[in-house]
Amino acid sequence: MNRNWLLYLMIFSLALNAGAIGTFVYLYVQGPPGPPPPPEAAPMPFRHLLREMNLDQQQRQTLKAMAPEHRRKVRGLEQELLQERQELFALIKQENLPEWPPVEAKVKEINNLQLQLEEEKVHHLMDIQKNLRPEQRQVLITQLEKRLPQCCGPGRGRGMGRMRGRGGGHNHGRHGPPGPPGN
């Protein structure tokens, strides 16, 4: 019985070492992350983007009225995400490792919050676009495309980068329009 336990422990140790070596080889083959984009390619802050779009007074007022609710939703979802991630970390750092189901449930809660955050960003972007003329929408889209490589382009920490500024959150059962992205 004791020999079987030692054999299982040795097999587990070998598998763990093989996984670690495989990870190091993968990271070595991937090479270092690429250089940051040149300064001229950096996207403009959102407030500058609004100026460049030549919004009329009505458009400025509409977008400004959307901002507080959007920011409130974003902050709430970001706080919830932080709390859930802290709870997940508390689970996996326990001396006695937890069973998979509670860890999986926490991961799913985090995934759901991330989905809500992404959906709010898209809802908000679509609400902004409804208030733009075609040429203004093109300026917005062009600037957003410049931001895209920062979040998920090559050389950004294997896809773990994050867009600048604050995002939004999801809004099941909307009660009014969301606000513009934060700065």
Average pLDDT of span 61-87: 93
What's the confidence (pLDDT) of residue 156?
44
Average pLDDT of span 58-66: 91
Mean pLDDT lowest among 48-52, 62-66, 140-144: 48-52
What's the confidence (pLDDT) of residue 58?
94
**Two tokens at 156?**
């950004």
31 dihedral zone (left: phi>0; alpha: psi -120 to 50; beta): left
Average pLDDT of span 97-116: 94
Could you give the 3-state DSSP secondary structure of residue 138? helix
CA 113 to chain centre: 10
Contact 34, 144 (CB under 8 A): no
Q: Which of 130, 121, 119, 127 is closest to 163 using CA atoms? A: 121
Confidence of residue 53 (pLDDT cuts 50, 70, 90): confident
What's the confidence (pLDDT) of residue 161?
39
Q: Is 169 exposed, middle or buried (0-12, 13-18, 19+ CB in 10 A)?
A: buried
Distance between CA atoms of residues 123 and 171, nearest Å: 8
Higher pLDDT, 168 or 44: 44
Task: Give me the chain's average pLDDT, please.
Answer: 76
- pLDDT above 70 coverage of the chain, percent: 69
What's the confidence (pLDDT) of residue 173?
40
Contact 77, 182 (CB under 8 A): no
Higher pLDDT, 180 or 49: 49
Output the CA torsion sign for 55, 142, 45, 113. Answer: positive
What's the confidence (pLDDT) of residue 11?
80
Distance between CA atoms of residues 115 and 145, nearest Å: 21
What's the confidence (pLDDT) of residue 89?
93
What count of other Cβ atoms lies within 10 Å of the Cβ of residue 94?
8
Radius of gyration of the chain (CA): 23
